[in-house]
Homo-oligomer: A and B are copies of this chain.
Amino acid sequence: MTKTNDKPLLQPEELACFSLYSAANAMVRAYRPVLDTLDLTYPQYLAMLVLWNGDALNVKTLGERLHMDSGTTTPLLKRMEAKGLVLRERCKQDERSCIVRLTQSGKALKQQAFQIPEAMGEKIAISQEEGATLKHLCDKLHDGLVAHSD
């Protein structure tokens, strides 16, 4: 008698997807104490990086940059607005669109942000080259999954 239950399934530790998942969680966890000094979470930090870089942009564009949809971005931006970092206002030309811009204190926070990459660098145990390889493979995996989802 053949028992299908005896067939093996790979364990989490043997799966690349679990390693990816665990590494991403550990990375966000490692950012936390560093970002606490700016009172930002990791996704909020990503949004600030985009906003510090240039002018105001709408919610849709920001969401595309961060690979998030409106169910994630809207509450994220509301929490950032509640902290006084950003303003959200409807676009005059197209009332469907919501424009996000930094407040003065949001802009001012940039000064403190330069220390973040530095502090994180000390925690990262892989080389620059390994980091580049990791980035490349993550991007390739991501893009393939996104393309496949249409």
Contact = CB atoms under 8 A, between A and B. Distances in A.
A82 interface: no
Given A7-B114, A11-B53, A27-B141, A148 B125 contact: yes
A141 B134 contact: yes
Nearest to A53: B11
Name the interface size band of chain A. Answer: 35 or more
A22 B137 CA distance: 12
A32 to B, nearest CB: 10
Contacts of A50: 11-12
A123 interface: yes
A24 interface: yes
A30 B36 CA distance: 31
Contacts of A7: 114
B125 A65 contact: no
Contacts of A134: 16, 19-20, 134, 137-138, 141
